[in-house]
Amino acid sequence: MSKLIQPPKGTRDFLPEEMVLRRKVMETIRESFALYGFVEIDSPVFEYFELLSRKCGSEIEKEIYVFEDKAKRKLGLRFEFTSPLGRYYATNAEKLTKPFKRYIIGKVYRYENTQAGRYREFYQADADIIGSYSMNVELELLDLAVFTLEKLSMGNYEIVINDRKILDGIINAAGIDESKKDAALRALDKTAKIGEAGVIKEFNENGIGEGNYRSFMRLIDLDPGLDDAKKLTALKERINEYVKDESIKNKTNEGIEELSFIIENERKAGACEGLNVIKFDPLLVRGLGYYTGPIFEIKSKDISIGSFAAGGRYDNLVELYGSRPEGACGISFGVERIIDIVTERDKDIFKSLSSPVRLYIVYLSESERTSALKTAKFFRLKGINAELSVSEGPNIGKEIKYADKKGIEYIAVIGGREASEKKLTLKNLKTRKEIFISAEEAAESIK
């Protein structure tokens, strides 16, 4: 017997019952985006590698699938949606209404080690707003996030926020050279994974001293008893004391003001009413280098799987692709991690999901097949998912078992009497009750 061929590492097959949940999650996200006025777009699943690396640098090649086409053009599979959005916006800017509120749901690809919540092929759902520098954009996206997560019944999560301008100021105050800033931020971004010793090791490997690390940590060592607003005030005092470069100091204070605005307004009645899960975290970095202002991640508080949604402001991105500078901010939902959290919390969730097929139609002999075909078409035109038996010699007992196994709620039986009277026998497979009625009456009953 030949060996079974498995899917490539980091990819998965999904059973029909799993697809019911996946479709439900994605449609819930899609509906939420639309309710907030975002419009759907699509773009190629592969782009020129030069585009994908323009902001992130050539090092990104280690993390994405890169290949040459038959004309020797270097291409890459998209590893996220923001860089392709920069190209999309620059290409179509004259046709778009600003501010441009777009969403996209699709597959992205990353060549990385697989583990819980991490795959090489996975779905993301992104919502972005281009064309505004106002912090109201951040409030809108955070409100959208909470609204969506409530519809998904996610519960028990927190939103952690920071600002890249604040990080730049702390890096400067800690004595880390500007040329080493990106290396320092990449190392700090791994704190949860590699711990303090690992971060110090990476600092040393990149020519940044342990003393710089200690200075950085002292600057963000804020009294845990303070609320976020007071923590930001205390941090501002330290920045003003230790940062000597006025331009960096002003930018850092600008970042503190941005977060203060978000924290103050997210608790007020209005657009962000109900947002009470936001927490300032001065160690939040977000690895992608194109962020320029507020950044945020959303994490489960009871399932250890990392962040399942994240985003931030990237005001400089679209300019890289030939468009004039525009304020921009976005959020990305990790569909796979959301589904993993849902299934981890409810091990029996697949048993509770109903089949997308509502009705199974069975005919008792070939002479009723034409009548069964017309009946199936009637239900489909009524918007009821109806499956028609394809058996040549239907056995009613076997057909009921088949429908039961698929989780179909109703079965319609069409025999000689049903065909002659233009009716059907409708059986509810949950209650086991059956009635002899017309197709019109059956449609109403099923709906």
- Are both 70 and 196 inside the same structural domain? yes
Tell whether the torsion through CA atoms of 236, 237, 239 and 243 is positive or negative.
positive
Tokens of 296: 């945020």
- Are both 401 and 371 inside the same structural domain? yes
Domain boundary among 292, 319, 345: 345
Query: In this structure, is residue 7 part of a structural domain?
Result: no
Q: How confident is the model at residue 114 (pLDDT cuts 50, 70, 90)?
A: confident
Return the DSSP state at 54: T
What CATH number does residue 439 fall under? 3.40.50.800
Query: In this structure, is residue 335 part of a structural domain?
Result: yes
Specify the range with the lowest mean pLDDT, choosing from 155-159, 200-204, 235-239, 351-355.
Answer: 351-355
Reported as a single tens digit per residue, the pLDDT across 34-55 is 999 999 999 999 999 988 888 7
Q: How confident is the model at residue 57 (pLDDT cuts 50, 70, 90)?
A: low
Specify the range with the lowest mean pLDDT, choosing from 31-40, 110-119, 334-343, 418-427.
Answer: 110-119
Report whether pLDDT(158) > 80. Answer: yes
Query: In this structure, is residue 1 part of a structural domain?
Result: no
Query: In this structure, is residue 11 part of a structural domain?
Result: no
Q: Which residues contact 27 (CB under 8 A, 6 or more apart)?
A: none
DSSP state letters, 332-383:
EEEHHHHHHHHHHH-TTHHHHSPPS--EEEEESSGGGHHHHHHHHHHHHHTT
Q: How confident is the model at residue 271 (pLDDT cuts 50, 70, 90)?
A: very low
Give the type of residue at 367: S
Domain boundary among 345, 364, 391: 345
What pLDDT does residue 351 have?
75
Q: How confident is the model at residue 412 (pLDDT cuts 50, 70, 90)?
A: very high
Query: In this structure, is residue 386 part of a structural domain?
Result: yes
Cα separation, 113 vs 202, in Å, equals: 20
- Are both 415 and 334 inside the same structural domain? no
Tokens of 232: 């930001």
- Are both 341 and 360 inside the same structural domain? no
Q: Which residues of 260-276 are buried (b: 16+ CB within 10 A; e: fewer)?
A: bbbbebbeeeeebeebe
User: Which of residues 309 and 115 earns the better pLDDT score?
Assistant: 309
Q: How confident is the model at residue 384 (pLDDT cuts 50, 70, 90)?
A: very high
Cα separation, 402 vs 396, in Å, equals: 10
For 255-260, what is the mean pLDDT? 95
For 422-431, what is the mean pLDDT? 93
Cα separation, 225 vs 5, in Å, equals: 56
Q: 109: which strand partners?
A: 121
User: Which of residues 305 and 371 earns the better pLDDT score?
Assistant: 371
Query: In this structure, is residue 118 part of a structural domain?
Result: yes
Query: In this structure, is residue 80 part of a structural domain?
Result: yes
Query: In this structure, is residue 9 part of a structural domain?
Result: no
Neighbours of 403 (CB within 10 A): 23
Reported as a single tens digit per residue, the pLDDT across 76-100 is 999 999 989 999 999 999 999 999 9
- The enclosing H or E element of 125 equals strand 121-130
Q: How confident is the model at residue 167 (pLDDT cuts 50, 70, 90)?
A: very high
Nearest to 161 by CA among 295, 254, 310, 332: 295
Report whether pLDDT(210) > 80. Answer: yes
Domain that residue 27 falls in: 16-345
Cα separation, 54 vs 199, in Å, equals: 27
Tokens of 363: 């005919």
What pLDDT does residue 2 have?
66
Residue 201 burial class via C-beta count within 10 angstroms: exposed 0-12, middle 13-18, buried 19 and up: middle
For 145-174, what is the mean pLDDT? 92
- Are both 335 and 388 inside the same structural domain? no
Indicate the pTM of the whole model.
0.88
Domain boundary among 309, 324, 345: 345
For 256-270, what is the mean pLDDT? 82
What pLDDT does residue 341 have?
92
Instruction: Give the number of domains in the chain.
Output: 2
What pLDDT does residue 276 have?
61
Q: Quote the radius of gyration of the chain (alpha carbons, Å).
A: 28
What pLDDT does residue 350 have?
80
- Are both 189 and 300 inside the same structural domain? yes
Tell whether the torsion through CA atoms of 342, 345, 350 and 354 is positive or negative.
negative
Phi then psi dihedrals of residue 441, to 5 deg? -65, -35
What CATH number does residue 321 fall under? 3.30.930.10
| Max mean pLDDT range (134-138, 185-189, 275-279) | 134-138
Nearest to 340 by CA among 105, 121, 18: 18
- Are both 366 and 337 inside the same structural domain? no
Report whether pLDDT(5) > 60. Answer: yes
- Are both 423 and 322 inside the same structural domain? no
What pLDDT does residue 43 have?
94
- Are both 282 and 368 inside the same structural domain? no
Whole-number average pLDDT of the chain: 90
Provide the 3-class DSSP secondary structure of residue 426.
strand
Give the type of residue at 80: E
Q: How confident is the model at residue 155 (pLDDT cuts 50, 70, 90)?
A: confident
Query: Residue 360 in contact with residue 387, Cβ under 8 Å?
Result: yes
- Are both 104 and 197 inside the same structural domain? yes
- Are both 188 and 154 inside the same structural domain? yes
What pLDDT does residue 260 have?
93
Query: Residue 339 in contact with residue 143, Cβ under 8 Å?
Result: no
DSSP state letters, 202-240:
HHHHTT--HHHHHHHHHHT---TTS-HHHHHHHHHHHHH
Neighbours of 224 (CB within 10 A): 6
Q: How confident is the model at residue 19 (pLDDT cuts 50, 70, 90)?
A: very high
Cα separation, 227 vs 212, in Å, equals: 27
Specify the range with the lowest mean pLDDT, choosing from 100-104, 158-162, 240-244.
Answer: 240-244
Specify the range with the lowest mean pLDDT, choosing from 39-43, 110-114, 166-170, 356-360.
Answer: 110-114
Cα separation, 191 vs 139, in Å, equals: 28
Phi then psi dihedrals of residue 334, to 5 deg? -85, 100
For 188-203, what is the mean pLDDT? 89
Question: How are beta strands 410-414 and 359-363 bridged, if at all?
Answer: parallel
Cα separation, 191 vs 216, in Å, equals: 13
- Are both 334 and 395 inside the same structural domain? no
